[in-house]
Chains A and B, each alone.
Chain A
Amino acid sequence: MDSGNGQLNKRRRLGGREQVSAYLFVLPAVLGVLIFYFVPLLVSFFGSFTNWGGLEGVFDASFVGFKNYAGILKDPYFGQAVLNTLFTMIGIPIGITLSLLLALLLNRGLKGTNVFRVVYYVPVVCGIVAITLMWQNFLAPNGPFNKLLEKMGIAGMDWLAHRVWAKVAIVVMCVWKGLGYSTLLYIAGLQGVPRTYYEAAKLDGAGGMQLFFKITVPLVRPVTFFLFVTGIITGAQLFTEAQLILPAASRNQNYVKTVVLYLYEQFGYGYVGYASAVAWLLAVVVFAATGLQFALEGRKKD
């Protein structure tokens, strides 16, 4: 009995020591997260209630209460930036739908499928700056797109100088760039759907549409959910595309300014406290949107 207890204690001691080693191993990473994520997070949160200019210490700045938050909510250009950002998110359901359809096509095992998979994935690995500048040239008044329209007898226009079409251009570009990635995830998802489900449904007389909506769509829902959540998060942080889509001479026009671009400008002007408040508002909205999606997804599962 004693020897049994001794063994147990020894094991406990060994387990305890292993735990210490394990904690030591993760310590650098934990420290990194604490120092480089949580401290700036707290500093920016505190800064958002001050008139912090960024160069002085945040604690040297004057406390202004909710003035920054009130100022942001009152600024019509922040409102415009929010609307611009929301507008560009139209691309999320469009991209998801297109990539699912594309994945279905590429999953049929047709000839040349691998070539197409590579082709669709190329934009994903291209630099966003290069892609944005390429689209800017493509959509220029004398660019290839207008020339193509001209051949079809349709009059083109300066798409990027138009308040709405410029945003549509960003949506199209983002969908195009992200299509390969989403398609790849859907292909993986589709390959995980057991063939037997389809065969059984067919025996019961199910048609193509029924197979798609009753089997395919529900079974790839985790992928759809993942794409939707990450789409919202990255969409809320849209920056480079909006900053570079317009030609240099007309850059920074308000009609394409997104929330992060607005934030970046405020930082540049030396209103770091104000910019921190914008960042926190954005974070809260993104957290809320993500939480809502998880809640809805959980309810669906139930």
Chain B
Amino acid sequence: MKKKLLSFILCAFLAVAAFAFAGCGNKNDGSITLFVYAQAHEEAAIRQMAAKYTEKTGTVVNVNAVSAESESYWTKLKSYASSKSMPDIFYMGPGQMEYYLNNNQLMDIGSYISANTEYDYEDLYGELRDEYVVDGKTYGIPGSFSVYPMGYNRVIIDQIIEAGWWPSDVLPPWEDDPATGKQVVYTWDQFSRAAAACTVGTDWYGTGLLERWALHSWIWTAGADWLNADKTKVTVTTPEFRKGLKDFYELHRTRGAVQGVDSESAMNHYQRWLNGQEAFFNVGTWDVGGFDKLNSNKIEYGIMPCPRSDDPGSEWYTYSAFLGYSVAQTSKNPEKAVDFILYYTTSQDAYDILVKENKIILPATQSKQQTYIDDPDITPVGKELFLTAMSEGHTKRLPTTYTYNSEWFDFFYANTTEFWGGPGLAPKYTTDEYLDWVEPQMQERLDRALEQKAQDEARRK
């Protein structure tokens, strides 16, 4: 009898425990969960903000950060959505918003924003706010924008100038162009000659850019784009696109601006830049906090425009990205979630902790722009370019911002060894042949995304 009773109690306990654990994701203890992707130094700053908010309001903010690439973040978010366990607040880019909106994952938070009297939502840039407004409903709050201009390492360049190796007709990147009165913008030719001059022995490398992110500058300044105006056709075989890709390829392969293919993969260029071995490398706004901790004997970096094409009158471009915060349709604490997002994006603490102390974002509020530019404590040299690049029209959106998913775009990069080749490996295609080969396949994948979008929209309606 005793045994039977014990058995029953044990079974009942196990069953109750199983159900209790199964339901533990849905508890509502008044806390809110924030899900983001972040490098280590960014995560530390985000946690600092969360702790400060808890100190102020008593609301606990649980930070869940993915430290890998952004792709892992989006896959994980998708898993949360499909398992109906969305965090209260999560990163949402304008490019991804449509997908989550069509699948009823985003809450219209307009009424909570209007009801909030503590923080000034209107201080956020209007064009950033508009990114999250669809049919008059607000599905997110912009948190930051990022720009990806070029950076230079003055330690290397100063020594090259001193040695007399710097090209005499090229101004150092930190100087102003007398013709425009603004910071010098290199043409492709000037940039590759300057980079080649900085390629010395096995110690210094002129440049070596990450094709997935840096290639955009080359494509856009050549007058090309990835998609047509209504974003339904892939346009990578236009003469302008061909020209942009060809120059990017030649910069890395034939002009002596990169140390050599043999050593290219021995250490990635990002690591070389961090080691103070690379003269030019792109600097994203999110990198600044991390780069500030680098050894100043080897690296003293500043910001400069990306090079423009050799055509007279060409403009330089880089990409800008927006990232905001959305609240899950299923959130049990939307009021607190919105309050935290507004605190995180518009408060003085946000400026002090995220912009000034940790330098992980640019201020998204209008009232802080000039403060940021004038603040001598905020590095790097030339930081105003982060803001002027956008205000003066030198930035464009990543092409995937306009499409339902990035399969078509990823396909381009999934096969680029076909033209890069490598040591002991002959390229299969020239850049022109590659573009002819890849375009129809990219188009096929874009058509698939358009079809999926149409289906989702039809279902939503």
Binding site for B on A (CB under 8 A): 17, 21, 24-25, 27-28, 31-32, 51, 53-56, 60, 62, 140-143, 155-158, 160-163, 247-250, 252-255, 257, 264-265, 267-272
Contact = CB atoms under 8 A, between A and B. Distances in A.
A5 B82 CA distance: 59
A156 B452 contact: no
Contacts of B415: 253-254
Contacts of B436: none
B414 A25 contact: no
Given A56-B104, A161-B417, A249-B269, 15 more contacts: A21-B3, A25-B7, A28-B18, A53-B455, A54-B78, A55-B104, A141-B264, A141-B423, A142-B262, A158-B265, A252-B413, A253-B414, A253-B417, A269-B405, A269-B407
B212 A249 contact: yes
B459 A161 contact: no
Size class of the B contact interface (CB-based, 8 Å): 35 or more
Contact of A24 (B11, B268, B452): B11
Given A141-B423, A254-B414, A268-B75, A158 B4 contact: no
Interface string B444-461: 000011001001100100
B212 A31 contact: no
Nearest to B74: A268
A247 B414 CA distance: 13
B420 A28 contact: no
A157 B424 contact: yes
Nearest to A26: B11
A270 B7 contact: no
Contact of B82 (A62, A269, A272): A272
A269 B408 CA distance: 10
Nearest to A255: B417
A32 B22 CA distance: 10
Given A142-B262, A143-B266, A249-B211, A60 B99 contact: no
Interface string B400-425: 00001111001001111100111111
A85 B103 CA distance: 34
B105 interface: yes
A54 B82 contact: yes
Nearest to B82: A54
Contacts of B4: 17, 21
B417 A27 contact: no
A264 B265 CA distance: 26
Q: Which 4 pairs across A and B sit closest by C-beta, in order of nearness?
A: A142-B266, A157-B424, A55-B103, A161-B422
Contacts of A55: 78, 81-82, 99-100, 103-105
B263 interface: yes
B105 A247 contact: no
B265 A161 contact: yes
Contacts of A255: 417
B407 A250 contact: no
Interface of B is mostly: helix
Contact of A28 (B14, B99, B105): B14
Contacts of B74: 268
Interface centre among A31, A143, A248, A249 (most CB of B within 10 A): A249
B265 A56 contact: no
Given A142-B266, A252-B414, A27 B423 contact: no
Contact of A267 (B78, B105, B268, B421): B78
Given A60-B459, A249-B268, A271-B452, A158 B261 contact: yes
Contacts of B264: 141, 158
10 contacts: A27-B15, A31-B18, A53-B99, A141-B261, A142-B267, A162-B424, A248-B69, A250-B417, A252-B410, A270-B99
Nearest to B3: A21
A28 B265 contact: no
B78 A250 contact: no
A22 to B, nearest CB: 9
Contacts of B165: none
Nearest to B407: A269
Contact of B422 (A24, A158, A257, A265): A158
B231 to A, nearest CB: 17
A62 B455 CA distance: 9
B108 to A, nearest CB: 17
Interface string B201-216: 0000000001110000
Contacts of B404: 270
B8 A269 contact: no
Contacts of B170: none
B71 interface: yes
Given A24-B11, A140-B265, A270-B405, A157 B82 contact: no
B134 interface: no
B381 interface: no
A162 to B, nearest CB: 5
Contacts of B267: 140, 142
Contacts of B81: 54-55
